[in-house]
Every structure is written in C-alpha cells, then in structure tokens.
Structure 1
Amino acid sequence: MAGMKKDHRKVFKYNILCRLFFCWIDPLLCVGCRQSLTQPDLYPHPHECDSSYLHNKFNEYWSEELSTRGSANTRLWWIILKCFWWRSLLIQTLTLILIAVFIAQSEILGLVTDYFSLEAPTADDTSTAYLYASLLILMSASMVFLNLVFYAGRKFGGLVRILLTNAIYYKVLKLSQMTLSHVTMGHVINIASNDVHRFDESMIFFPFFLVFPIHLCVVVYLLYLKIQWSSMVLVGVVLASIPILIVTSIIYSSFRFKAAAVTDNRIKVMNEIISGIRVIKIYRIW
C-alpha cells in the first residue's frame, strides 16, 4: 500500500464552491507541474458527454423528425435544441440573471455618485449611500456567473460537436460504394475538424444573442427615464447597424463557402498525389 500512487481526485473536495471558482482544475495543474498528464490523471468524463449516449438520443429525435417532416425538410437545429433543451434553458437563465445584475449595478452606481453631488447630505443620505455601496460590492461577485456562462457555453458547444461528429461517423459507415467514390477521406476530416469546430466558438455567444433584445429594451427604457426621447438615438444606431451586420455576415458566408470549396479541392488533389506516390512506391519495390 505504501508504494501505491496517491489519487488526487479522491483527496480533492468537490463541492459547490469549487464548482463556482473552478478549483477542481487545481489538482491537474499541480500534477502537470511535476509530470506530463496521462489518461489516469484526468477526471472521468460525465455520462452526458459519452458519444454512444448522444448518438442514441440523436437517432431518437432524428427518427421522429424524419417520420413527421420527411428527409427533405429535416431541421438539424431543432434536433440539437431537443437534445439539449434543459442545458440551453440553464444558460439562458444564467445569462439573463447576469444581464439583470449588470443593469442593476449601473443603476446603483448612479445612485452612489448622486450622493457626492449633495451639498449638505444628512445622516439618512449617508446610511443610504453606504447601503448602495455595499450592494455594489456584492454585485461585483456576479463576475463568477460570467465565467459560468462562458464555461457552460463552451461545454454546450463541445457536446454539439461530439454529437455531430458522431453523426458524421455513422453516416460515413452507411454510405454506398458509389457515394464513397465521390467523397474523399480528407473531405470528411475537413468537415469533422473545421466545420463542426465552429460550434465550439458560436455557442459561447449564443445566449447573449437571445438575451440581447431584452437587454436593449430595458436599457432604452432606463435611458428614456433619464434623457427622454434622446434615447431613441441609441435605438436608431442599433437598428442601422443591423443591415450592416447582415450584409457583412452574407459576405463572410460567401467567402467561407469559397474557402470550403478550395479546401475540398486541395484535399482531393493531395489525396490523389498521395495515392500516386503509393503506386509509384509499389512499382519501384516490385
């Protein structure tokens, strides 16, 4: 027993505070400073990240979608939402709480600054200012929720990437020989590595995209209480930027499609070159 290696995962206390402050990664950092991390040093992945579990769930909802809408009208985004609806709802709730705290923090900061504009503050004004300052300090702890939102979004994107990569893998196994003659292995690898990887980046900002209309309405209302109709200038600027963003996204997507076509062609040419090199080596050995 004395020669057995000490398992840091059992010694480490795993509670709610460690989840909030990401202290569970400290043992990995300590072990990584002494040696290279190996598979036994890592935490076991949760059951929800298992590829077989995600594949079974995806097949269930995919079969329902095929039976109701047909193969031509299937909605992949709806299937992803049905697979992870509770996680998406959790991220949206955390983001909404975070935005509400930020708005309240700005309002309380304005109330604190109003105290210093008083010429002769009374004792009640001073007590109220201290109360607002205390609330402002407590709300500064909301940055913990910001890290949780980004972590949950990153994990959400990772789950979607595992789900789609697994779906691509099983789809390739079911392709016919005629279809495989038109699809190279490099093309499949390009889809699984580059295109699916976009979900890791997009899911981080996904909750802010949905909460943005609520945030904008609340901010415009608060500005209207302060500066009346001049706050509509902000709405005009935001509405004017929407067409610019749409045009920019269309141009970017067109460039992405062109880059994907060039990448597929490059992978196809490289695959042919490698196949030719193999043939030459075979004849040379013969």
Structure 2
Amino acid sequence: MAWNSKALDKFCGSPFWNSSLTWYTDDPELTRCFEKTALVLIPISFLFLISPFEIFYLKHSPNRNIPWNWKNSLKIITTTALALICLSDFLSNIGMVKIYKVDIFMPMLKFVSYVYAGVLIYYNKFYGYQASGHQFIFWFLSALCGAPQFRTEIRNVQQNGELENYYFYKSYMIYYPLVVLMFLLNCLADNKPKQYPYGKVQNKCPFDNTSFLGRILWTFVDGILYHGFKRPLEQKDMWNLALENESQNLTPKFEQEFQKRVAKNKEKFMKKQKEGNVKGKPDTVSIIPVIWSCFYRTFLVGASFRMIQDLMAFVNPQILSLVISFVQSDEPQWKGIFYALLMFFVSFTQTLIHHMGFNFLWTFGQRTRVSLMMAIYRKALRISNATRKDKTVGEIVNLMAVDAEKFLEISLQLPMMWAAPTQICFAVYFLWQEVGPAVLAGLALMILLIPVNTVIVRISRKLQLKQMKNKDERVKMMNEILNGIKVLKLYAWEGSFEKIVEMIRIKEVKTLLNMAYLNASSNFIWNCAPFMVSFTVFGTYVLLDPNNLLDPSKTFVSLALLNILRQPMHQIPNVINMAVQAAVSIKRINSFLNSEELNPYVEHKPSEGIDPFYDNT
C-alpha cells in the first residue's frame, strides 16, 4: 500500500520525502517514521477504543480484591518502567537540533497509554478480574507491532556499526524486552480474589482461574481429557457446575425481576381503574425484558464475538486477491510468504472468536432455560384451582421440557437475525467491486425468494401451534390414564383408551410429517439458492459486455464471496423457523406465568360479641 509523501511530511515533519512509501523501505528515516506512527497507533487505538467495555465489565464484576503477588506487582513495576522510558524519550528529544513531530508526539502518546494501562491493571486487581482479554490483546499487539522497529535497530547497528543517536538505540533495547515481558505476564492468570460472592466451591471448574490465552485455547480441559485417556472417567472426576450458573442463584434473580414488573403493571392498572379509564385485568408481563435484564451482559459479549467473526470472513477473500496478483507478478518472495501467513492467522483468529462467542451464547441459553424451568415449576405450586382446571400437568411438563428448551436453541442462532443481513450487504458490496452491476441480478433473485420464505414461515407457525396442542392433549391423556390405571384395569378399558391415545399420536405424527416436508422443501430451496445466484451473477456479467472476462482473480474471489453468502442464505430460514417456534413458546409461557395464584395469606374476620372461652376479666 502506498503512503502519500505530503501527508507523511505534514504529520512527521520530514523535509526530504519525494516518493511514496511502501510497507517496507531501505531508507532508515522513512522506516523509523512509519514504525513510530502506524505500528504504534494500532495497539494504542485498541487500548482506548475497547477499554470502555472492560470498565463496564469491571463495574459489574461480583469479585473483589485480588491479593498482591509477584504477577500483578511485576505488571505494575514493568508498566511504570515503560512509562518512565517514554517520558525520558520525550525529554531527550526536546534538546535535539533536528526534531521530527513524530519524536515529540509518539513518546507522550505512549506515556499516557502506559499510565492508563497501569491504572487498568490496578483496577483489575481491585475488582478481582483474573484474566483480562483487553490487556492481553493490547500487549500482544504492542509486542507484534514493535518487532519491526526492534529488527531495524539491530540491523542498523550490524550494517553501520556506529549510531547517530546512541541513547535512542539503548532506550529501545530496554523498552521492547519490557513490552515482551508484559505480554508474557498477561499469558498467566492472576491469583484468586479474596471476596467471591458464592464462597468456596469444592471441585470447582478451573475456567475462572485460567488466563485469557488458556480460555481461548481451552487449555483448562487438558487435565480431564488426560484422565479420560488414562482411565474411564467417574463422577468424582467431573467439575461441579459454576455457582453463578446454578438454579438456586439464577431463579431468585429472575423471579425478582418478574415480580417487579408484575407489581408495576398492577400499580398502573389500579391507577387507571381509579380514574375509570380501564376495565379487566392488568397487562401481561412478558418474559423477554425479564430475561434481558438478567442476562444481557452474557448475550452482548457472545453476540459481539459473533459479529466480529462474521466480519472477519471477508478478510480472506481480499487476501486471496493479493495472493493471485502476487502469483501473476514479479513481486518479492517475502510478500507471498506474508500473505500466506496472514491468511492462516486470520482463519485461526476467526476460529478462536467463533468458539468464544459460541461459549457465551451457550451460557446465555442455558441460564435462560434453567431460570424458565424453575420459574414454571414454582408457579405450578402456586396456581389457583381455577387456573389448574385449564393448565393440566401435561401442559406444565411441556412448558418445562419443550418450550423452555426453545430458548437454548434460538440463543445460538439469534445473532444471525442481524448478522445475516450485514453479511449479505458486505458480500454484495465486495461482489460489486468484482463484477459490477451483474451482482444486482443475483440480488434480485434473492429478493424473489423472500415471498416463498414468507409463505413457509406462516405455514410453519400454524403447524407448530397444532403440534403443541396435540402434544398437550397426548400428555394430558397419558396422565389421566396413569392416575386412573386401577379403574381401567377393573373395567378392562385398556383397549378403548389405547385407541384414543393412538388417534392423538396419529394426528401428532401427521403434523410432524408435514413439518418435515416443509423443512425439507425450505432447505432444498435455500441450498439451491447460492448456486442459482452464482450462475445468475456470472452469466449476467459475461452477457453484459463482450469485454467482460472471468479471469482467475475475479472468478476465485467472487466464488469465495458467494460461498460466504451461502451461510446467511442457508441459515435465514432456520433462524426464522426457530424464531417462530420460540414466539409460540413465549406466548404459552407468558400465559402460564401470568395466571392467577393462590392467596398466600388467609384472613379471618374477628367474631362478634364475647368469646365464651375467653376470660374477659
């Protein structure tokens, strides 16, 4: 990539640049200016842009006060030393005869950054945050971006022998090893916090005590995998469930948020009733805002990772274009090696981010499912007799076993509701860069498929409602049979009731078969869609102009982008079907959780007159 000499001259203050600067140059002054601007700004920009998320996480951390130890003490000392080196660089540059703006601006920027990083390190200790991903990535980028300048300084010494600025060389020889030391320290997790809201846990999962690097590489499962390799695993070998994920800690929070909204709705209803503006019952409380207020942080982290992973999918096609251009040109060999390593690094990072996002979304789904199951179970113990007539045991079991499970399924795919349109927009944009207006033909084909998907969604919703009714009827009948099994045996009614259950089951199987046909048709259409879109795009591109030729670069890059387009197009119908099923489950759960309850207090009117068994004297 080329850098404009006037822009660099204005920023760095160099009076002698007359040519553009590529990624690397043999001119030591230009190289030093580039390494001091672009490469230094990358980690510093990450530090300040992402730090609000870490501050938000620290503010809501339930842990407190990690004791001082050699790891966090050495981090504070090393960061202080780096800040002092940067301050020394700034002061030493002031007295120089020939000063570049970069020599004044960059040391002060790095000084402020390291002071800020040191403050974050202290607050990580105070709030009990053992493994900061923000700090790990910052120091990793600092070490990675500082390596070219470290190599340049050593090369200059080897080639020239004498140094114009001996202080600058010695300063950086001390500075860069300290940055690498900070990176290595952030590869280790800090000690356990003193204050943990759930107390001590026996056989606790080692995830919390694992570093960020160990979490993304899942090294904390190595021990149990090794034990499973050596001998069969037993129950005592398994870790206990994290206390923050247990129902005894999740359910009270969920019910507290739910009852808070119930009380607020009743208060609004009573106020309107006094004014004579409303009749009937208070508004129904939905479980969606309750779930969001309880677990939104976990979902947002998982959705953010998922969005980053989806956006990173567009990096490799651009690198592929550079690789094809490199093969067809006489560029230096190091560029091809760099492109190949960059493709590997992007794919590796994308995989890590995908699994981290999956872990957070799975945790969100499990917490939601457990909270709903316990809330439904507790509600079943409190419902009134009038409600019990309408809500059978079979329906309540289905609410806990089937409807609550829908939230676990939809939680993993819910980010696709906005990630899929984003991916489609980016894919269309990059395809426009390759094939021009021909991409509109493929976009028109996708738009034509929307009405087909709308019809499928409507039919799927009807079948889902019908299936849940059949299932409730079957479970209700089986429950009545089991409760009255003695009467059935006494009167020999087994055959009659067996036929009734079989008829209900036949209707249920018929509905399931229709749903399977519908899903198969939907999958067939959306699996054929990417091929039809590719055929339409390439065909339109060739037919638009005789000069349009499909060269290797255009063809392979377009196919890579169309393959990316395949995933959101394939997942859109599945996500919509899951959303429809989840909407049905939400309606059923809302109806049950808002049903009438027994009065927990029994009031007795005081008896009139004098109690003959009570001595009034």
Aligned to 2:357: 149
Q: Which moved more, 1:57-66 or 1:152-161?
A: 57-66
Q: Distance in 2 between matches of 1:37 and 1:182?
A: 44
Aligned to 1:140: 347
Question: Which residue, out of 297, 302, 305, partners 1:91?
Answer: 302
Aligned residues: 270
Q: Please report the RMSD computed on the Cα atoms of aligned residues, expressed in angstroms.
A: 2.7
Aligned to 1:167: 375
Would you say 1:241 and 2:438 are equivalent positions?
Answer: no
Partner SS, residue 84 of structure 1:
helix
Q: CA deviation at 1:104?
A: 0.8
Aligned to 1:50: 246
Would you say 1:117 and 2:328 are equivalent positions?
Answer: yes
Q: Distance in 1 between matches of 2:226 and 2:378?
A: 39
Distance 1:154 1:246, change over 3 A: farther
Q: Is the 8 A contact 2:298 2:361 kept in 1?
A: no
Q: CA deviation at 1:179?
A: 2.1
Question: Which residue, out of 302, 319, 324, partners 1:108?
Answer: 319
Q: Is the 8 A contact 1:31 1:37 kept in 2?
A: no
Note the residue ranges of structure 1 that are not aligned, 5 or more in a row.
Answer: 1-6
Q: CA deviation at 1:278?
A: 3.8
Aligned to 2:546: none
Q: Percent identity?
A: 24
Higher-Rg structure is 2
Note the residue ranges of structure 2 that are not aligned, 5 or more in a row.
Answer: 1-202, 270-281, 492-617
Distance 1:32 1:116, change over 3 A: closer
Deviations 1:48-86 (A, max 9, x none): 312233222223332343315764243322221222111
Would you say 1:17 and 2:232 are equivalent positions?
Answer: no
Deviations 1:95-154 (A, max 9, x none): 121122211112111211222233xx133xx43333222211111212122222222222
Deviations 1:173-219 (A, max 9, x none): 11012322333322211221112112222111112222222222222
Tell me which of the two structures has the higher relative contact order, counting C-alpha pairs closer than 8 angstroms and 6 or more residues apart. 1
- TM-score by length of structure 2 reads 0.41
Matched ranges for 1:1-286 at <5 A = 14-32=210-228, 34-35=231-232, 37-38=234-235, 40-66=236-262, 67=264, 71-118=282-329, 121-123=330-332, 126-141=333-348, 142-279=350-487
Distance 1:253 1:106, change over 3 A: same
Q: Is the 8 A contact 1:184 1:268 kept in 2?
A: yes
Letter in 2 for 1:56: P
Q: Is the 8 A contact 2:369 2:407 kept in 1?
A: yes
Q: Distance in 1 between matches of 2:433 and 2:371?
A: 47
Letter in 2 for 1:277: I
Partner SS, residue 391 of structure 2:
coil
